[in-house]
Every structure is written in C-alpha cells, then in structure tokens.
Amino acid sequence: INAEYMGETNGFATELLDDIFACKGEIPTVKGKTMSTDCFYEGQGRLDGAICSYTEEEKMAFLQQCHKAGVSNIEMECTYLGAFGKSTGFPVAAMCTTLLDRLQGDQVTSTPAQLGQYVQQASNLMLAYLEKHHKGK
C-alpha cells in the first residue's frame, strides 16, 4: 500500500475451507492450493497465447513444479479475495471449478453438459455447507 510491501500471507480461513470440504459427501472434490497469476497465458504457462517466450519442455517443468508444491488450480482472481479477507478479518475461502488437467494440455475439451455438471457440483457443495452451518440463522 502506497508502495510499501505488505507481505506474502493471504487472508484465507483454513478452518472455513475445512468446514466446506467436510460437506462434500459424494461430490468429487480436491483440496489443494490455488496459484493466482497476473495473466491467462504466460503467467499460467500456456503455449497458445500471442506471445510465448518458453518451450513445451519449460512449460511442463513449470507445471510439474507447481504440481509438486500442491497446486491444483491456476487462476487470476483469488488474490483479491484473500486480500479482502486479510484486510477486513472476514473469513474467506476460495472454491474453484477446475476445467482441465494442465499436465494433459491447455485446451478445454469438456462438453457443455460436463461444464454444467461442474457448476452444479460446486453449487451443491456450497448449499450443503450452508445447510449444515447456517440453517435457521
């Protein structure tokens, strides 16, 4: 803030994440790390952008390094959610739907029906959490 480095921690509430994860039931769910980047292409190690300054081998090495560090999702927005949680003290958690395994390729190949199922599963998980923890409040 005002050109002062504020540190690397985020405001994500691990207890909230654990509570949501405990409600998953039969919904296919992975608890892992999300890596936020500043761009969709180079920041995420993609080869299909207009500018690419690395090779397929370098991309795969980067993605393998992320995988070994526990990253199961790459996106661009969660940083702001975590910053909000940190600055307000409001408990926040990120729940993302991952559309593809980046170790297998860069293109989304899911059908519209599959994409709809992913959205429904995420919605069902959040509803299960709300019913368990906030019913009657």
Predicted local distance difference test score (pLDDT) of residue 58:
94
pLDDT per position as a tens digit, 67-88: 999 999 999 888 889 889 988 9
Angle between helices 112-134 and 14-21 (to 10 degrees): 110
Task: Considering only CA atoms, give the Rg of the chain.
Answer: 17
Predicted local distance difference test score (pLDDT) of residue 64:
95
What is the rounded average pLDDT of the residues 112-129? 95
Quote the CA–CA distance of 32 and 87 in Å, as a whole number. 23
> pTM for this structure?
0.79
Query: Which of 3-17, 31-45, 58-72 bottoms out in mean pLDDT, i.e. has the lowest?
Result: 3-17
How much is the mean pLDDT over the chain? 89
**Is residue 27's pLDDT more than 90?**
yes
